[in-house]
Structure 1
Amino acid sequence: MALLDVERVSMRFGGIVAVNEASLSVESGSITGLIGPNGAGKTTLFNVVTGLQPVASGRIRFRGRDVTHASPNSRAKAGMARTFQRLEAFGSLTVRENVLVASEIHAGVPSWFRRRSNGVDELLERVGLTRYAGQRADSVPTGVARLLELARALAIQPRLLLLDEPSSGLDETETGHFGALLREVAADGCAVLMVEHDMQLVMGVCEYIHVLEFGKVIARGDPAQIRSDRTVQVAYLGFGDTPDEHTLQLPPVGAT
Protein backbone atom coordinates (compact mmCIF):
# COMPACT_ATOMS: atom_id res chain seq x y z
CA MET A 1 0.00 0.00 0.00
CA ALA A 2 1.27 3.45 -0.93
CA LEU A 3 1.97 6.02 1.77
CA LEU A 4 -0.58 8.37 0.16
CA ASP A 5 -3.52 7.27 -1.96
CA VAL A 6 -5.81 9.86 -3.54
CA GLU A 7 -8.77 8.06 -5.07
CA ARG A 8 -11.08 9.80 -7.60
CA VAL A 9 -11.13 13.05 -5.65
CA SER A 10 -13.24 15.97 -6.86
CA MET A 11 -13.49 19.51 -5.51
CA ARG A 12 -15.72 22.34 -6.71
CA PHE A 13 -15.90 26.10 -6.32
CA GLY A 14 -19.62 26.64 -6.86
CA GLY A 15 -20.29 25.33 -10.34
CA ILE A 16 -16.61 25.19 -11.30
CA VAL A 17 -14.94 21.79 -11.04
CA ALA A 18 -11.40 22.56 -9.83
CA VAL A 19 -10.37 18.92 -9.29
CA ASN A 20 -12.09 16.29 -11.39
CA GLU A 21 -11.92 12.71 -10.09
CA ALA A 22 -8.14 12.92 -9.72
CA SER A 23 -6.24 9.88 -8.49
CA LEU A 24 -2.59 9.61 -7.55
CA SER A 25 -0.34 7.73 -5.17
CA VAL A 26 2.98 8.43 -3.52
CA GLU A 27 5.37 5.81 -2.17
CA SER A 28 7.64 6.20 0.85
CA GLY A 29 11.18 7.20 -0.08
CA SER A 30 10.18 8.48 -3.52
CA ILE A 31 9.95 11.83 -5.29
CA THR A 32 6.73 12.24 -7.27
CA GLY A 33 5.96 15.16 -9.57
CA LEU A 34 2.60 16.83 -10.16
CA ILE A 35 2.78 19.03 -13.25
CA GLY A 36 0.37 20.84 -15.53
CA PRO A 37 -0.43 24.27 -16.96
CA ASN A 38 -1.37 27.23 -14.79
CA GLY A 39 -4.90 26.83 -13.50
CA ALA A 40 -4.86 23.04 -13.84
CA GLY A 41 -5.81 22.58 -10.18
CA LYS A 42 -2.45 21.49 -8.76
CA THR A 43 -2.46 23.75 -5.70
CA THR A 44 -6.15 23.03 -5.11
CA LEU A 45 -5.36 19.32 -5.09
CA PHE A 46 -2.60 20.00 -2.54
CA ASN A 47 -5.13 21.89 -0.41
CA VAL A 48 -7.53 18.95 -0.58
CA VAL A 49 -4.82 16.43 0.35
CA THR A 50 -3.74 18.52 3.35
CA GLY A 51 -7.30 19.27 4.46
CA LEU A 52 -7.37 23.00 3.75
CA GLN A 53 -10.29 22.52 1.35
CA PRO A 54 -13.03 19.86 1.56
CA VAL A 55 -13.61 17.15 -1.03
CA ALA A 56 -16.86 16.92 -2.95
CA SER A 57 -16.30 13.22 -3.59
CA GLY A 58 -13.56 10.63 -3.47
CA ARG A 59 -11.25 9.38 -0.74
CA ILE A 60 -7.80 10.18 0.65
CA ARG A 61 -5.80 7.58 2.54
CA PHE A 62 -2.56 8.37 4.37
CA ARG A 63 -0.45 5.71 6.05
CA GLY A 64 -3.31 3.27 5.56
CA ARG A 65 -5.89 5.47 7.30
CA ASP A 66 -8.82 7.29 5.74
CA VAL A 67 -8.17 11.01 6.29
CA THR A 68 -10.72 12.32 3.79
CA HIS A 69 -12.50 14.39 6.41
CA ALA A 70 -9.67 14.76 8.94
CA SER A 71 -8.57 18.25 10.02
CA PRO A 72 -5.38 19.83 8.65
CA ASN A 73 -3.89 19.65 12.16
CA SER A 74 -4.49 15.92 12.50
CA ARG A 75 -2.96 15.30 9.09
CA ALA A 76 0.10 17.33 10.07
CA LYS A 77 0.41 15.33 13.29
CA ALA A 78 0.21 12.15 11.24
CA GLY A 79 3.23 13.29 9.25
CA MET A 80 2.13 15.60 6.42
CA ALA A 81 4.11 18.80 5.87
CA ARG A 82 3.86 21.29 3.04
CA THR A 83 5.16 24.52 1.59
CA PHE A 84 3.13 27.12 -0.27
CA GLN A 85 3.39 29.06 -3.52
CA ARG A 86 3.10 32.24 -1.49
CA LEU A 87 5.85 32.52 1.08
CA GLU A 88 4.47 32.12 4.61
CA ALA A 89 7.44 32.78 6.91
CA PHE A 90 7.16 34.78 10.14
CA GLY A 91 8.80 37.95 8.86
CA SER A 92 9.69 39.46 12.23
CA LEU A 93 11.52 36.32 13.36
CA THR A 94 14.98 35.28 12.28
CA VAL A 95 15.50 32.37 9.93
CA ARG A 96 16.63 30.20 12.84
CA GLU A 97 13.68 31.22 14.99
CA ASN A 98 11.26 30.30 12.21
CA VAL A 99 12.65 26.77 12.08
CA LEU A 100 12.85 26.54 15.88
CA VAL A 101 9.16 27.46 16.23
CA ALA A 102 8.18 24.68 13.83
CA SER A 103 10.38 22.18 15.66
CA GLU A 104 9.07 23.09 19.11
CA ILE A 105 5.43 23.10 18.10
CA HIS A 106 5.92 19.64 16.66
CA ALA A 107 7.69 18.46 19.83
CA GLY A 108 4.83 19.68 22.03
CA VAL A 109 4.17 22.30 24.70
CA PRO A 110 6.76 21.03 27.25
CA SER A 111 9.55 21.89 24.80
CA TRP A 112 8.77 25.59 25.19
CA PHE A 113 10.11 25.37 28.74
CA ARG A 114 13.22 23.44 27.77
CA ARG A 115 14.09 25.62 24.74
CA ARG A 116 15.87 22.79 23.01
CA SER A 117 17.32 23.38 19.56
CA ASN A 118 16.08 19.96 18.38
CA GLY A 119 18.77 19.82 15.73
CA VAL A 120 17.72 23.17 14.23
CA ASP A 121 21.30 24.27 13.57
CA GLU A 122 22.08 20.96 11.88
CA LEU A 123 18.98 21.33 9.74
CA LEU A 124 19.92 24.87 8.75
CA GLU A 125 23.35 23.63 7.71
CA ARG A 126 21.85 20.76 5.73
CA VAL A 127 19.54 23.07 3.79
CA GLY A 128 22.26 25.67 3.31
CA LEU A 129 20.90 28.44 5.53
CA THR A 130 23.55 28.73 8.22
CA ARG A 131 24.84 32.08 6.96
CA TYR A 132 21.30 33.50 7.10
CA ALA A 133 20.37 32.05 10.51
CA GLY A 134 20.41 35.38 12.35
CA GLN A 135 18.69 37.43 9.67
CA ARG A 136 15.02 38.39 9.79
CA ALA A 137 12.96 36.22 7.49
CA ASP A 138 11.47 39.25 5.74
CA SER A 139 14.93 40.51 4.78
CA VAL A 140 16.33 37.47 2.95
CA PRO A 141 16.16 36.92 -0.84
CA THR A 142 13.23 34.97 -2.27
CA GLY A 143 15.37 31.90 -2.99
CA VAL A 144 16.56 31.81 0.61
CA ALA A 145 12.98 32.18 1.84
CA ARG A 146 12.04 29.14 -0.27
CA LEU A 147 14.74 27.11 1.44
CA LEU A 148 13.52 28.42 4.79
CA GLU A 149 10.05 27.04 4.06
CA LEU A 150 11.64 23.68 3.25
CA ALA A 151 13.63 23.73 6.50
CA ARG A 152 10.50 24.51 8.53
CA ALA A 153 8.65 21.65 6.87
CA LEU A 154 11.52 19.23 7.54
CA ALA A 155 11.66 20.39 11.18
CA ILE A 156 8.47 18.46 11.95
CA GLN A 157 10.11 15.25 10.67
CA PRO A 158 7.41 14.50 8.08
CA ARG A 159 6.56 11.21 6.45
CA LEU A 160 5.16 13.08 3.44
CA LEU A 161 6.50 16.40 2.18
CA LEU A 162 4.32 18.39 -0.24
CA LEU A 163 6.20 21.15 -2.06
CA ASP A 164 4.34 23.79 -4.10
CA GLU A 165 6.70 25.34 -6.68
CA PRO A 166 9.70 25.07 -4.36
CA SER A 167 12.32 26.17 -6.90
CA SER A 168 10.62 29.51 -7.64
CA GLY A 169 13.18 32.23 -7.00
CA LEU A 170 16.17 29.87 -6.99
CA ASP A 171 19.02 30.39 -9.42
CA GLU A 172 20.57 27.51 -11.37
CA THR A 173 23.16 26.70 -8.71
CA GLU A 174 20.60 26.82 -5.91
CA THR A 175 18.24 24.61 -7.93
CA GLY A 176 20.98 22.02 -8.37
CA HIS A 177 21.63 22.03 -4.63
CA PHE A 178 17.91 21.79 -3.99
CA GLY A 179 17.55 18.75 -6.26
CA ALA A 180 20.40 16.98 -4.46
CA LEU A 181 18.77 17.81 -1.12
CA LEU A 182 15.45 16.32 -2.24
CA ARG A 183 17.24 13.10 -3.16
CA GLU A 184 18.76 12.99 0.34
CA VAL A 185 15.35 13.56 1.94
CA ALA A 186 13.83 10.74 -0.10
CA ALA A 187 16.77 8.46 0.66
CA ASP A 188 16.00 8.96 4.36
CA GLY A 189 12.54 7.45 3.72
CA CYS A 190 10.42 10.60 3.41
CA ALA A 191 8.00 10.74 0.47
CA VAL A 192 8.03 13.92 -1.62
CA LEU A 193 5.14 15.16 -3.76
CA MET A 194 6.16 18.22 -5.76
CA VAL A 195 4.27 20.75 -7.88
CA GLU A 196 6.88 22.36 -10.10
CA HIS A 197 7.19 24.20 -13.42
CA ASP A 198 10.95 23.77 -13.75
CA MET A 199 10.97 20.76 -16.08
CA GLN A 200 14.70 20.26 -15.77
CA LEU A 201 14.30 19.80 -12.02
CA VAL A 202 11.23 17.59 -12.43
CA MET A 203 12.85 15.33 -15.01
CA GLY A 204 16.05 15.19 -12.98
CA VAL A 205 14.68 14.14 -9.59
CA CYS A 206 11.18 12.66 -9.97
CA GLU A 207 10.74 8.92 -10.24
CA TYR A 208 7.08 9.19 -11.20
CA ILE A 209 5.00 12.06 -12.58
CA HIS A 210 1.28 12.85 -12.74
CA VAL A 211 0.04 15.42 -15.26
CA LEU A 212 -3.04 17.49 -14.42
CA GLU A 213 -5.19 19.46 -16.88
CA PHE A 214 -8.49 21.14 -15.97
CA GLY A 215 -8.41 19.27 -12.68
CA LYS A 216 -8.12 15.84 -14.27
CA VAL A 217 -5.10 13.54 -14.41
CA ILE A 218 -4.42 13.09 -18.13
CA ALA A 219 -1.16 11.15 -17.92
CA ARG A 220 1.04 9.35 -15.43
CA GLY A 221 4.32 7.52 -15.69
CA ASP A 222 8.06 7.76 -15.24
CA PRO A 223 9.91 10.77 -16.68
CA ALA A 224 10.74 9.01 -19.96
CA GLN A 225 7.09 8.09 -20.50
CA ILE A 226 5.90 11.62 -19.70
CA ARG A 227 8.54 13.17 -21.94
CA SER A 228 7.33 11.15 -24.93
CA ASP A 229 3.58 11.33 -24.20
CA ARG A 230 1.87 13.16 -27.07
CA THR A 231 -1.12 14.09 -24.88
CA VAL A 232 1.22 15.88 -22.48
CA GLN A 233 3.02 17.64 -25.32
CA VAL A 234 -0.23 19.01 -26.72
CA ALA A 235 -2.08 19.80 -23.48
CA TYR A 236 0.73 20.98 -21.23
CA LEU A 237 3.44 22.20 -23.53
CA GLY A 238 1.10 23.78 -26.08
CA PHE A 239 2.20 21.96 -29.23
CA GLY A 240 -0.18 21.84 -32.17
CA ASP A 241 -1.59 18.76 -33.86
CA THR A 242 1.40 18.37 -36.19
CA PRO A 243 4.46 17.02 -34.36
CA ASP A 244 7.67 18.94 -34.85
CA GLU A 245 10.46 17.25 -33.00
CA HIS A 246 12.58 20.38 -33.23
CA THR A 247 10.14 22.15 -30.87
CA LEU A 248 10.20 19.51 -28.15
CA GLN A 249 12.27 21.24 -25.49
CA LEU A 250 11.78 18.98 -22.48
CA PRO A 251 15.15 18.29 -20.86
CA PRO A 252 16.52 14.74 -20.97
CA VAL A 253 15.61 12.42 -18.14
CA GLY A 254 18.07 12.71 -15.27
CA ALA A 255 19.21 16.23 -16.14
CA THR A 256 19.56 18.68 -13.25
Structure 2
Amino acid sequence: MGLLQVEKLCKSFGGLLALSDLDLTIEEGEILGLIGPNGSGKTTFFNLLSGLIKPDKGEILLSGKDITGMKPHKICRAGIARTFQLVKPFTRMNPLENIMVGRAYGRERAVNREHAREEAEKILAFTGLIKKRVPKAGMLNLIDRKRLEIARALATRPKLLLLDEMMSGLNRAEIEDAMLFVREIRDSGIAVIVVEHVMKAVLGISDRVVVLNVGRKIAEGTPRDIAENQKVVEAYLGRELYA
Protein backbone atom coordinates (compact mmCIF):
# COMPACT_ATOMS: atom_id res chain seq x y z
CA MET A 1 0.00 0.00 0.00
CA GLY A 2 1.28 3.46 -0.93
CA LEU A 3 1.50 6.52 1.28
CA LEU A 4 -1.81 7.78 -0.12
CA GLN A 5 -4.47 5.53 -1.58
CA VAL A 6 -7.65 6.95 -3.11
CA GLU A 7 -10.39 4.52 -4.13
CA LYS A 8 -13.51 5.24 -6.20
CA LEU A 9 -13.66 8.88 -5.07
CA CYS A 10 -16.75 10.76 -6.27
CA LYS A 11 -18.03 14.30 -5.78
CA SER A 12 -20.87 16.20 -7.43
CA PHE A 13 -22.28 19.67 -6.96
CA GLY A 14 -25.98 19.68 -7.74
CA GLY A 15 -26.23 17.96 -11.10
CA LEU A 16 -22.58 18.57 -11.99
CA LEU A 17 -20.23 15.62 -11.56
CA ALA A 18 -16.89 17.09 -10.50
CA LEU A 19 -15.03 13.84 -9.80
CA SER A 20 -16.03 10.33 -10.84
CA ASP A 21 -14.65 7.05 -9.46
CA LEU A 22 -11.09 8.32 -9.12
CA ASP A 23 -8.46 5.74 -8.15
CA LEU A 24 -5.02 7.11 -7.34
CA THR A 25 -1.96 6.24 -5.27
CA ILE A 26 1.24 8.03 -4.36
CA GLU A 27 4.33 6.46 -2.86
CA GLU A 28 6.61 7.88 -0.20
CA GLY A 29 9.22 10.18 -1.71
CA GLU A 30 7.35 10.56 -5.01
CA ILE A 31 6.43 13.66 -6.99
CA LEU A 32 3.08 13.14 -8.68
CA GLY A 33 1.93 15.62 -11.30
CA LEU A 34 -1.82 16.19 -11.62
CA ILE A 35 -2.87 17.95 -14.81
CA GLY A 36 -6.00 18.65 -16.81
CA PRO A 37 -8.01 21.53 -18.27
CA ASN A 38 -9.97 23.94 -16.10
CA GLY A 39 -12.98 22.15 -14.65
CA SER A 40 -11.34 18.73 -14.83
CA GLY A 41 -11.57 18.11 -11.07
CA LYS A 42 -8.08 19.00 -9.85
CA THR A 43 -9.16 21.58 -7.27
CA THR A 44 -12.06 19.39 -6.15
CA PHE A 45 -9.58 16.57 -5.57
CA PHE A 46 -7.32 18.81 -3.46
CA ASN A 47 -10.34 20.06 -1.51
CA LEU A 48 -11.35 16.46 -0.77
CA LEU A 49 -7.85 15.46 0.29
CA SER A 50 -7.52 18.45 2.63
CA GLY A 51 -10.99 18.09 4.15
CA LEU A 52 -12.52 21.30 2.84
CA ILE A 53 -15.34 19.27 1.32
CA LYS A 54 -16.57 15.71 1.85
CA PRO A 55 -16.86 13.08 -0.89
CA ASP A 56 -20.17 11.58 -1.94
CA LYS A 57 -18.51 8.19 -1.89
CA GLY A 58 -15.08 6.59 -1.98
CA GLU A 59 -12.16 6.31 0.43
CA ILE A 60 -9.00 8.26 1.18
CA LEU A 61 -6.31 6.35 3.08
CA LEU A 62 -3.11 7.95 4.40
CA SER A 63 -0.51 5.45 5.61
CA GLY A 64 -3.32 2.93 5.81
CA LYS A 65 -5.52 5.17 7.98
CA ASP A 66 -8.96 6.16 6.72
CA ILE A 67 -9.12 9.97 6.67
CA THR A 68 -12.19 10.23 4.43
CA GLY A 69 -14.35 13.21 5.38
CA MET A 70 -12.21 14.23 8.35
CA LYS A 71 -12.03 17.91 9.28
CA PRO A 72 -9.13 19.93 7.82
CA HIS A 73 -7.22 20.35 11.10
CA LYS A 74 -7.37 16.61 11.74
CA ILE A 75 -6.15 15.84 8.23
CA CYS A 76 -3.31 18.30 8.78
CA ARG A 77 -2.42 16.50 12.01
CA ALA A 78 -2.54 13.20 10.13
CA GLY A 79 0.15 14.47 7.77
CA ILE A 80 -1.28 16.30 4.74
CA ALA A 81 -0.42 19.96 4.14
CA ARG A 82 -1.62 22.16 1.33
CA THR A 83 -0.83 25.44 -0.39
CA PHE A 84 -3.30 27.54 -2.35
CA GLN A 85 -3.02 29.19 -5.74
CA LEU A 86 -3.81 32.60 -4.24
CA VAL A 87 -1.20 33.00 -1.53
CA LYS A 88 -2.39 34.87 1.55
CA PRO A 89 0.30 35.33 4.19
CA PHE A 90 -0.41 37.14 7.41
CA THR A 91 0.77 40.39 5.87
CA ARG A 92 1.35 42.28 9.13
CA MET A 93 3.49 39.50 10.62
CA ASN A 94 7.07 38.84 9.58
CA PRO A 95 8.00 35.62 7.72
CA LEU A 96 9.28 33.89 10.86
CA GLU A 97 6.03 34.57 12.71
CA ASN A 98 4.03 33.28 9.72
CA ILE A 99 5.91 29.99 9.87
CA MET A 100 5.47 29.75 13.64
CA VAL A 101 1.71 29.86 13.09
CA GLY A 102 2.01 26.83 10.84
CA ARG A 103 4.11 25.11 13.48
CA ALA A 104 1.13 25.25 15.86
CA TYR A 105 -0.65 22.70 13.66
CA GLY A 106 0.44 19.43 12.14
CA ARG A 107 1.70 16.09 13.38
CA GLU A 108 3.88 17.25 16.27
CA ARG A 109 3.34 20.43 18.22
CA ALA A 110 6.29 22.49 19.37
CA VAL A 111 7.20 22.03 23.02
CA ASN A 112 7.18 25.78 23.62
CA ARG A 113 7.49 29.10 21.81
CA GLU A 114 11.29 28.96 21.74
CA HIS A 115 11.21 25.51 20.20
CA ALA A 116 8.71 26.74 17.60
CA ARG A 117 11.03 29.64 16.78
CA GLU A 118 14.02 27.31 16.33
CA GLU A 119 12.02 25.08 14.01
CA ALA A 120 10.78 28.10 12.04
CA GLU A 121 14.37 29.35 11.62
CA LYS A 122 15.34 26.00 10.08
CA ILE A 123 12.45 26.20 7.64
CA LEU A 124 13.36 29.78 6.75
CA ALA A 125 16.83 28.54 5.85
CA PHE A 126 15.54 25.54 3.89
CA THR A 127 13.16 27.66 1.83
CA GLY A 128 15.74 30.33 1.11
CA LEU A 129 13.84 32.99 3.05
CA ILE A 130 16.45 33.35 5.78
CA LYS A 131 17.77 36.53 4.13
CA LYS A 132 14.31 38.04 3.76
CA ARG A 133 14.28 39.74 7.14
CA VAL A 134 11.46 42.08 6.22
CA PRO A 135 9.30 43.42 9.06
CA LYS A 136 6.08 42.37 7.33
CA ALA A 137 5.34 39.44 4.99
CA GLY A 138 3.27 41.77 2.83
CA MET A 139 6.52 43.34 1.65
CA LEU A 140 7.70 40.12 -0.05
CA ASN A 141 7.57 39.74 -3.83
CA LEU A 142 5.42 37.06 -5.50
CA ILE A 143 7.94 34.22 -5.58
CA ASP A 144 8.92 34.81 -1.96
CA ARG A 145 5.26 34.91 -0.88
CA LYS A 146 4.83 31.56 -2.62
CA ARG A 147 7.86 30.21 -0.78
CA LEU A 148 6.42 31.48 2.48
CA GLU A 149 3.14 29.71 1.72
CA ILE A 150 5.10 26.49 1.29
CA ALA A 151 7.16 27.21 4.41
CA ARG A 152 4.00 27.46 6.52
CA ALA A 153 2.85 24.14 5.10
CA LEU A 154 6.22 22.52 5.80
CA ALA A 155 6.03 23.74 9.39
CA THR A 156 3.23 21.22 9.98
CA ARG A 157 5.72 18.40 9.26
CA PRO A 158 3.67 16.76 6.53
CA LYS A 159 4.08 13.34 4.98
CA LEU A 160 2.38 14.65 1.85
CA LEU A 161 2.43 18.20 0.45
CA LEU A 162 -0.19 19.43 -2.02
CA LEU A 163 1.10 22.26 -4.23
CA ASP A 164 -1.56 24.22 -6.12
CA GLU A 165 -0.11 26.11 -9.10
CA MET A 166 2.93 27.43 -7.28
CA MET A 167 4.54 28.37 -10.61
CA SER A 168 1.75 30.54 -12.01
CA GLY A 169 2.85 34.12 -12.53
CA LEU A 170 6.56 33.30 -12.39
CA ASN A 171 9.11 34.02 -15.11
CA ARG A 172 11.31 31.34 -16.68
CA ALA A 173 14.19 31.72 -14.23
CA GLU A 174 11.82 31.67 -11.26
CA ILE A 175 10.15 28.52 -12.61
CA GLU A 176 13.52 26.78 -12.86
CA ASP A 177 14.22 27.80 -9.27
CA ALA A 178 10.80 26.53 -8.17
CA MET A 179 11.39 23.17 -9.87
CA LEU A 180 14.64 22.74 -7.98
CA PHE A 181 12.87 23.66 -4.75
CA VAL A 182 10.18 20.99 -5.26
CA ARG A 183 12.88 18.37 -5.79
CA GLU A 184 14.57 19.47 -2.57
CA ILE A 185 11.27 19.03 -0.71
CA ARG A 186 10.96 15.50 -2.13
CA ASP A 187 14.57 14.74 -1.22
CA SER A 188 13.82 15.74 2.37
CA GLY A 189 11.40 12.80 2.56
CA ILE A 190 8.08 14.48 1.76
CA ALA A 191 5.87 13.20 -1.06
CA VAL A 192 4.42 15.92 -3.29
CA ILE A 193 1.36 16.21 -5.52
CA VAL A 194 1.73 19.10 -7.96
CA VAL A 195 -1.24 20.71 -9.71
CA GLU A 196 0.24 22.88 -12.41
CA HIS A 197 -0.54 24.43 -15.80
CA VAL A 198 3.13 25.07 -16.68
CA MET A 199 3.49 21.84 -18.63
CA LYS A 200 7.23 21.83 -19.17
CA ALA A 201 7.68 22.27 -15.44
CA VAL A 202 5.26 19.60 -14.24
CA LEU A 203 6.53 17.09 -16.80
CA GLY A 204 10.09 18.01 -15.86
CA ILE A 205 9.80 17.37 -12.12
CA SER A 206 7.22 14.60 -11.82
CA ASP A 207 8.04 10.93 -11.37
CA ARG A 208 4.54 10.10 -12.56
CA VAL A 209 1.65 12.10 -14.03
CA VAL A 210 -2.12 11.66 -13.76
CA VAL A 211 -4.40 13.41 -16.26
CA LEU A 212 -7.99 14.36 -15.43
CA ASN A 213 -10.70 15.45 -17.84
CA VAL A 214 -14.30 16.27 -16.85
CA GLY A 215 -13.82 14.56 -13.51
CA ARG A 216 -12.34 11.32 -14.80
CA LYS A 217 -8.81 9.97 -15.01
CA ILE A 218 -7.99 9.58 -18.69
CA ALA A 219 -4.29 8.72 -18.45
CA GLU A 220 -1.51 7.87 -16.01
CA GLY A 221 2.17 7.20 -16.57
CA THR A 222 5.65 8.64 -16.76
CA PRO A 223 6.06 12.18 -18.12
CA ARG A 224 7.23 10.71 -21.43
CA ASP A 225 4.20 8.41 -21.59
CA ILE A 226 1.90 11.38 -21.05
CA ALA A 227 3.69 13.61 -23.56
CA GLU A 228 3.31 10.91 -26.22
CA ASN A 229 -0.30 9.97 -25.37
CA GLN A 230 -2.44 11.12 -28.27
CA LYS A 231 -5.63 11.14 -26.18
CA VAL A 232 -4.00 13.51 -23.67
CA VAL A 233 -2.62 15.77 -26.39
CA GLU A 234 -6.04 16.04 -28.00
CA ALA A 235 -7.87 16.59 -24.71
CA TYR A 236 -5.52 19.04 -23.10
CA LEU A 237 -1.86 19.48 -23.95
CA GLY A 238 -2.07 20.38 -27.64
CA ARG A 239 0.72 22.66 -28.66
CA GLU A 240 1.75 23.55 -25.11
CA LEU A 241 4.29 20.73 -25.02
CA TYR A 242 6.02 22.02 -28.11
CA ALA A 243 5.90 25.74 -27.43
Structure 2 gap ranges (5+): none
Contact 1:146 1:168 in 2 (8 A): no
Tell me, in whole angstroms, the C-alpha distance in 1 between the residues paired with 2:152 and 2:9: 28
Deviation at 1:216, TM superposition (A): 0.8
- CA-to-partner distance for each residue in 1:131-184, whole Å, 9 max, x for gaps? 323242222222211111111111111100001101123222222122112112
The one-letter code matched in structure 2 to 1:145 is R
Tell me, in whole angstroms, the C-alpha distance in 2 between the residues paired with 1:72 and 1:42: 18
Question: RMSD value over aligned CA atoms?
Answer: 1.8
- Provide runs of 4+ in structure 1 moved above 3 Å: 104-110
Tell me, in whole angstroms, the C-alpha distance in 2 between the residues paired with 1:110 and 1:184: 27
How do 1:1-256 residues align onto structure 2 when only pairs under 5 Å count?
Answer: 1-106=1-106, 107-108=108-109, 111-112=112-113, 114=114, 116-237=116-237, 239=238, 248-250=239-241
Instruction: Judge which range, 172-181 or 79-88, deviates more.
Output: 172-181
Structure 1 gap ranges (5+): 240-247
- 3-state SS of 2:70 partner: coil
Contact 1:163 1:192 in 2 (8 A): yes
Tell me, in whole angstroms, the C-alpha distance in 1 between the residues paired with 2:81 and 2:226: 27
How many corresponding residue pairs? 242
Aligned-pair identity (%): 38
The one-letter code matched in structure 1 to 2:222 is D
The one-letter code matched in structure 2 to 1:235 is A
Q: TM-score, normalised by structure 2?
A: 0.93
Instruction: Judge which range, 128-137 or 198-207, deviates more.
Output: 128-137
Deviation at 1:13, TM superposition (A): 0.9
Instruction: Judge which range, 83-92 or 202-211, deviates more.
Output: 83-92
The one-letter code matched in structure 2 to 1:142 is L
Tell me, in whole angstroms, the C-alpha distance in 1 between the residues paired with 2:161 and 2:13: 26
The one-letter code matched in structure 2 to 1:221 is G
